[in-house]
Amino acid sequence: MAVRYVLNQTPQTIERYFGRYITKQTNSDTLTYTYAPQGFRRLFPQFPKSNFSIIFVNNQVKYIKLNFNSDFDQYSGNYNYDQAESVKFYNYIFSYQPPIWQQLSAKFGGNETIYFDEYCLGDGVATSFDRYGYKQFTDSATLSYDTRCEPPDSRNPN
Protein backbone atom coordinates (compact mmCIF):
# COMPACT_ATOMS: atom_id res chain seq x y z
CA MET A 1 0.00 0.00 0.00
CA ALA A 2 1.27 3.49 -0.84
CA VAL A 3 1.84 6.20 1.74
CA ARG A 4 -1.33 8.10 2.51
CA TYR A 5 -1.28 11.87 2.56
CA VAL A 6 -3.92 12.66 5.16
CA LEU A 7 -3.17 15.97 6.87
CA ASN A 8 -4.47 19.00 4.94
CA GLN A 9 -6.50 16.76 2.60
CA THR A 10 -10.19 17.21 1.68
CA PRO A 11 -13.11 15.01 2.76
CA GLN A 12 -13.22 13.53 -0.76
CA THR A 13 -9.60 12.33 -0.52
CA ILE A 14 -10.19 10.90 2.96
CA GLU A 15 -13.25 8.99 1.73
CA ARG A 16 -11.07 7.29 -0.90
CA TYR A 17 -8.70 6.16 1.88
CA PHE A 18 -11.13 5.09 4.62
CA GLY A 19 -14.53 4.75 2.99
CA ARG A 20 -17.70 6.51 3.96
CA TYR A 21 -17.91 8.02 7.43
CA ILE A 22 -20.36 6.59 9.97
CA THR A 23 -21.24 9.93 11.60
CA LYS A 24 -20.88 13.57 10.62
CA GLN A 25 -20.88 16.58 12.92
CA THR A 26 -20.76 20.20 11.75
CA ASN A 27 -19.81 23.22 13.85
CA SER A 28 -19.15 26.50 12.03
CA ASP A 29 -16.02 25.95 9.88
CA THR A 30 -15.24 22.60 11.57
CA LEU A 31 -16.47 19.27 10.26
CA THR A 32 -15.92 15.97 12.06
CA TYR A 33 -16.30 12.61 10.35
CA THR A 34 -16.10 9.41 12.39
CA TYR A 35 -14.90 6.12 10.89
CA ALA A 36 -14.69 2.51 12.07
CA PRO A 37 -13.81 0.30 9.09
CA GLN A 38 -13.09 -3.41 9.61
CA GLY A 39 -9.34 -2.94 9.12
CA PHE A 40 -9.34 -0.43 11.94
CA ARG A 41 -11.33 -2.75 14.21
CA ARG A 42 -8.61 -5.39 13.82
CA LEU A 43 -6.00 -2.83 14.85
CA PHE A 44 -7.21 -2.69 18.45
CA PRO A 45 -9.10 -5.94 19.12
CA GLN A 46 -9.00 -5.23 22.85
CA PHE A 47 -11.12 -2.12 22.20
CA PRO A 48 -14.02 -3.31 20.00
CA LYS A 49 -16.01 -0.06 20.36
CA SER A 50 -13.13 2.19 19.35
CA ASN A 51 -13.21 4.36 16.24
CA PHE A 52 -11.40 7.36 14.85
CA SER A 53 -12.52 10.81 13.87
CA ILE A 54 -11.05 13.15 11.33
CA ILE A 55 -11.53 16.83 12.04
CA PHE A 56 -11.58 19.17 9.07
CA VAL A 57 -11.14 22.93 9.42
CA ASN A 58 -11.98 24.92 6.30
CA ASN A 59 -12.33 21.63 4.39
CA GLN A 60 -8.82 20.35 5.26
CA VAL A 61 -7.76 17.67 7.75
CA LYS A 62 -6.26 19.22 10.88
CA TYR A 63 -6.62 16.42 13.46
CA ILE A 64 -7.05 12.66 13.52
CA LYS A 65 -8.48 11.44 16.81
CA LEU A 66 -8.46 7.90 18.15
CA ASN A 67 -11.55 7.41 20.35
CA PHE A 68 -11.56 4.56 22.84
CA ASN A 69 -15.24 5.27 23.70
CA SER A 70 -15.09 3.91 27.26
CA ASP A 71 -13.93 0.65 25.71
CA PHE A 72 -11.69 -0.09 28.67
CA ASP A 73 -12.02 -0.46 32.41
CA GLN A 74 -10.17 2.41 34.01
CA TYR A 75 -9.85 0.47 37.27
CA SER A 76 -8.46 -2.83 36.02
CA GLY A 77 -6.40 -1.85 32.96
CA ASN A 78 -3.09 -0.11 32.66
CA TYR A 79 -1.92 2.19 29.89
CA ASN A 80 -4.11 1.67 26.87
CA TYR A 81 -2.21 4.15 24.68
CA ASP A 82 1.54 4.33 24.61
CA GLN A 83 4.27 3.95 22.00
CA ALA A 84 3.06 0.57 20.69
CA GLU A 85 -0.54 1.75 20.16
CA SER A 86 0.65 5.07 18.77
CA VAL A 87 2.81 3.30 16.18
CA LYS A 88 -0.11 1.05 15.16
CA PHE A 89 -2.45 4.02 14.79
CA TYR A 90 0.08 6.09 12.82
CA ASN A 91 0.82 3.15 10.54
CA TYR A 92 -2.89 2.57 9.94
CA ILE A 93 -3.54 6.23 9.09
CA PHE A 94 -0.44 7.02 7.00
CA SER A 95 0.48 3.50 5.75
CA TYR A 96 4.06 3.47 7.04
CA GLN A 97 5.91 3.21 10.35
CA PRO A 98 6.63 6.47 12.17
CA PRO A 99 10.32 7.35 11.94
CA ILE A 100 10.74 8.48 15.57
CA TRP A 101 9.22 8.49 19.05
CA GLN A 102 10.46 11.57 20.87
CA GLN A 103 8.79 13.26 23.81
CA LEU A 104 7.85 16.90 23.27
CA SER A 105 6.20 17.59 26.61
CA ALA A 106 4.80 15.98 29.73
CA LYS A 107 2.67 18.09 32.04
CA PHE A 108 0.66 17.54 35.17
CA GLY A 109 -2.96 18.51 34.75
CA GLY A 110 -3.51 20.07 38.16
CA ASN A 111 -3.99 16.74 39.83
CA GLU A 112 -1.27 14.17 40.44
CA THR A 113 -3.18 11.52 38.47
CA ILE A 114 -3.80 13.58 35.33
CA TYR A 115 -1.01 13.97 32.78
CA PHE A 116 -0.83 15.48 29.32
CA ASP A 117 1.78 14.01 26.96
CA GLU A 118 2.99 14.98 23.50
CA TYR A 119 5.37 12.97 21.32
CA CYS A 120 6.87 13.45 17.88
CA LEU A 121 6.33 10.59 15.47
CA GLY A 122 8.29 12.31 12.72
CA ASP A 123 7.53 13.75 9.31
CA GLY A 124 5.68 16.66 10.90
CA VAL A 125 3.27 14.51 12.94
CA ALA A 126 2.79 14.65 16.70
CA THR A 127 0.55 12.63 18.96
CA SER A 128 -1.01 14.08 22.10
CA PHE A 129 -3.05 12.39 24.80
CA ASP A 130 -4.14 12.68 28.41
CA ARG A 131 -3.72 9.97 31.05
CA TYR A 132 -6.15 9.72 33.94
CA GLY A 133 -6.46 7.94 37.24
CA TYR A 134 -4.10 5.71 39.10
CA LYS A 135 -4.04 3.24 36.18
CA GLN A 136 -3.27 6.08 33.72
CA PHE A 137 -5.87 5.19 31.08
CA THR A 138 -6.38 7.30 27.96
CA ASP A 139 -9.84 7.96 26.50
CA SER A 140 -8.57 9.47 23.24
CA ALA A 141 -5.39 10.43 21.40
CA THR A 142 -4.77 12.87 18.58
CA LEU A 143 -2.44 12.96 15.59
CA SER A 144 -1.77 16.41 14.13
CA TYR A 145 0.77 18.48 12.26
CA ASP A 146 3.51 20.01 14.42
CA THR A 147 6.50 21.89 13.00
CA ARG A 148 8.65 20.58 15.88
CA CYS A 149 8.29 17.12 14.33
CA GLU A 150 9.55 18.03 10.88
CA PRO A 151 12.84 16.43 9.82
CA PRO A 152 15.71 18.81 10.70
CA ASP A 153 16.77 19.33 7.07
CA SER A 154 13.27 20.52 6.09
CA ARG A 155 13.13 23.19 8.82
CA ASN A 156 16.35 24.93 7.83
CA PRO A 157 16.84 25.48 4.11
CA ASN A 158 20.55 26.43 4.56
DSSP 140-156: EEEEEE-GGGS-HHHH-
Residue 121 falls inside a structural domain = yes
Q: How confident is the model at residue 158 (pLDDT cuts 50, 70, 90)?
A: very low
Residue 89 falls inside a structural domain = yes
pTM, full prediction: 0.84
Residue 136 falls inside a structural domain = yes
Across 10-101, the runs of DSSP E, i.e. the strands, are 23-27, 30-35, 51-57, 60-67
Q: How confident is the model at residue 104 (pLDDT cuts 50, 70, 90)?
A: very high
Residue 40 falls inside a structural domain = yes
For 113, the domain range is 11-148
CA 93 to CA 6: how far, in whole Å?
8
Q: How confident is the model at residue 125 (pLDDT cuts 50, 70, 90)?
A: very high
- Position 73 scores a pLDDT of 53
Residue 16 falls inside a structural domain = yes
Q: What is the mean pLDDT of residues 67-85?
A: 66
Residue 57 falls inside a structural domain = yes
Residue 5 falls inside a structural domain = no
Each residue of 106-142: b (16+ CB within 10 Å) or e? eeeeeeeeebebbbbbbbbbbbbbbbeeebbbbbbbb
> How many domains is the chain partitioned into structurally?
1
Helix, strand, coil content of the chain in percent (nearest 5): 20, 35, 45
Residue 154 falls inside a structural domain = no
Q: What is the CA angle 149-65-101, rounded to 5?
A: 30
Q: How confident is the model at residue 39 (pLDDT cuts 50, 70, 90)?
A: confident
**22 secondary structure, DSSP code:** S
Tell me if residue 89 falls in helix, strand or coil.
helix
